[in-house]
Amino acid sequence: MDNDTPTPEQAAQALNQIDRHQADAVHRAFWAPWWYKVSVVVLITGVGLGLDLVDRSWRGAVLWGFLLGSFGLTFLQRRHAGVRAPTFGPHQLSVRRLLVVAGMLAVLLGLPVLLGRLGVPLPHAIGCFAFSALSVLVGSRLAPREEAKRIAALSDPGTIEAAARETFASRHSTGRLWLIYLSVTLATTLLVNGLLVAALILGAHGHVLMILAVAAAIAVVGVGVLTMWWFQRPIKHPRDGDRS
């Protein structure tokens, strides 16, 4: 080996450095913005709730409040996130990808109809919650592992778990984190949308309900953005800079 070729120890250290940074970026794109994702689930459920509220003067406020909240939150996430949602992999549409998209659309459109026929109350809200929560949670669980397989240097999904632990300062395993996400998503959705349903049952005045719906959407967007910023804070690796 000549002087330019790194020793095996140096090469191993460089690979370790690559793994750390890639795990951090992949984790940051999929796990870290989880409050943002929870907020999206809450807002989409709110849109479903708006669709369920037929013949009510404040239906439009609920529907548009949560719909605009969803777009606003996505817009802010896109503008402010340290790592933008990666456009991983090839862009050409494969049959598998088309089938997945078609399946998701079928579930999104079909689930509320099915729930309605089964006599489940608030079928759109429950259907939208089930669809968005499962999409986010399953996507968050599977995508980093799939991505780890694709990236040349990052071969160990355990590295992503280590990055998750470092960011959250948590002792939980990835599986347990996933369950926590599900619980928090359900609890937050029930808290925000349940408040509106309770107000509807109690027969609150239309203007009060409008204000409640818009305030809830703004609060969800605000919490989503603030926690997104917090969890997006970078993990410093001073050694890399020292050696540059």
Partner 1 sequence: VKPALDALIHAPARLSLMALLAAGGEAEFGYVRDSIGVSDSVLSKHASALEAAGYVKIRKGYVGKRPRTWFGITPTGRRAFAAHAKALQDIVAQAGPVQTPIE
Site string for partner 1, 225-244 (x = CB under 8 A): -------x-xxxxxxxxxxx
Asked if residue 83 lies in contact with residue 28, where contact means CB atoms within 8 angstroms, the answer is: yes
Q: Is 153 in the site for partner 1 (CB under 8 A)?
A: yes
> Which structure tokens are listed for 162?
């280590």
DSSP type of residue 154: -
> Which structure tokens are listed for 50?
């708006």
83, 143, 200, 219: which one binds partner 1 (CB under 8 A): 83
Q: Segment 1-30, which members bind partner 1 (CB under 8 A)? A: 2, 4-6, 8-9, 11-18, 20-26, 28-29
Q: Segment 84-143, which members bind partner 1 (CB under 8 A)? A: 84-88
- Tally Cβ neighbours within 10 Å of residue 159: 20
Shortest CB 42 distance to partner 1, Å:
25
Q: Which is nearer to partner 1, 22 or 45 (CB)?
A: 22
Q: Is 198 in the site for partner 1 (CB under 8 A)?
A: no
Shortest CB 80 distance to partner 1, Å:
7
Shortest CB 73 distance to partner 1, Å:
15
Q: Is 169 in the site for partner 1 (CB under 8 A)?
A: no
Shortest CB 84 distance to partner 1, Å:
4
Residues sharing a CB contact under 8 Å with residue 126, sequence separation 6 or more, in sequence order: 48, 112, 115, 120
Greatest Cα pair distance in the chain: 81
71, 80, 98, 215: which one binds partner 1 (CB under 8 A): 80
Half-sphere exposure of 204 (CA within 13 A, CB side): 15
- Tally Cβ neighbours within 10 Å of residue 126: 20
- Give the closest residue to 228 by CA, choosing from 30, 86, 41, 81: 81
68, 81, 107, 182: which one binds partner 1 (CB under 8 A): 81
Q: Which is nearer to partner 1, 4 or 55 (CB)?
A: 4
Q: How far, in Å, are 132, 142, 242, 243 from residue 3 at the CA level? A: 55, 42, 21, 18
- Give the closest residue to 133 by CA, choosing from 116, 113, 114, 108: 108
Q: Which is nearer to partner 1, 97 or 239 (CB)?
A: 239
Q: Which is nearer to partner 1, 86 or 175 (CB)?
A: 86
Chain residues in the site for partner 1 (CB under 8 A): 2, 4-6, 8-9, 11-18, 20-26, 28-29, 79-88, 147, 151-154, 232, 234-244
